[in-house]
Amino acid sequence: MLAFYNEHHAQHRGKHEMFRGALVAAFEKPERADMVAAEFGRRGLGNIVTPHGVPLTSLEKIHTPRYLHFLRNAWSEWLALDPDNAARDAFPSVWPIRGLRVDVEPDNFAAKMGLYSMDSGTPLTAGTWIAAKTGADCAVNAAHALRLGERGTFALTRPPGHHAGADYFGGYCFLNNAALAAQHLLDDGADKVGILDIDYHHGNGTQSIFYQRSDVLFTSIHADPTCEYPFYLGHADETGDGAGLGYNMNLPLAAGSSSSTWFAALETACYKLAGFGADALVVSLGVDTFIGDPLSHFSLQSGDFLRVGERIAQLGPPTVFVMEGGYAVAEIGINVVNVLEGFETAA
């Protein structure tokens, strides 16, 4: 398997995040990708390469130019407010709730942060843009490699992406790597692309981006959003809108669900994807479904992730895996690479 590695990922290193009313050490940390890269290399699963840079026009097929402009310049604006901000991460403090205007971009930096964000747990740092942009490069390169004959590829990157919408960040995510990979596959000639999101948390950004489209089928297995982040999207009755009606499937599960319940949901998602007949598949590979994850409440063991990879391979299409969540750092390398090894063995 060909893995595209984000050599700049560690430039995004949040100091803190807001969690349950307190500032705590950031859960989304560089060691996550380091552990995966080390395990991938240890098993000799394939080559690890760096991506070619992709133009901003590729990102604009998923994200709005206004939002991209903000991300590229946010840190400079933060420093311009106060040079001492160099030692602080930037967080939003206000948001445009229902009924307030979002069409006019404020001049005030704090107001801009609120306009383009969905939570106070996603620190913006000096290296956020370069880390996120190189991660997007990884995802697009991994998608393009399928056209060149690869059966499966892996975007080994952080920060993750599936919570990022067309014009907002949150959930540790800034650019939606899975959506960018799917769009590139379509641009490369695929008629239909399937997305399977197996992160513990619903991929609200990915759903929103493709919700009115029929060329992408989004399927997601995740914790019930009435109790778990992102809270405001991910319910079973969200099935698409307009041309996209029927092309969105959410399979929310109660916190504490057993591995057998989770695998039954995987079968449902795979049945839907098989009927769609996608030319290619994108997997949002979150392993925070692991029983030892500090932010999640599912019950998968490390060995279960081999089965996950095997089942995905049985779907048939060439597949891009994009790294998402997983915060049990000591085990993340084993869990992610187990999925990839299961896929390679079955494929």
Cα(206)–Cα(166) distance, rounded to whole angstroms?
A: 9
Residue closest to 280 by CA, chosen among 229, 199, 217: 217
CB 196 within 8 A of CB 319: no
Rounded alpha-carbon distances, angstroms, from residue 118 to 18, 114, 205, 231:
13, 7, 11, 11
Task: Determine how many CB atoms are found less than 10 A away from the CB of residue 92.
Answer: 21
Crossing angle for the helix pair 259-276 and 304-314, to the nearest 10 degrees: 10
Q: Which one of the listed residues 144, 163, 184, 202 is annotated catalytic?
A: 163
Location of structure tokens 């311009």 = 80
For 321, phi and psi rounded to 5 degrees?
Answer: -100, 130
Whether 144 sits among the annotated catalytic residues: the reply is: no
DSSP 8-state class, residue 278 = -
Q: What is the dihedral of CA 254, 116, 185, 211, to 10 degrees?
A: 50
Measured between alpha carbons, how far is 160 from 121 in angstroms, rounded to an integer?
Answer: 14
Query: Which secondary-structure segment (H or E) carries 259?
Result: helix 259-276
Best CA proximity match to 154, nearest among 43, 248, 58: 43
Separation CA 218–CA 124 (nearest Å): 28
Catalytic positions, please? 163
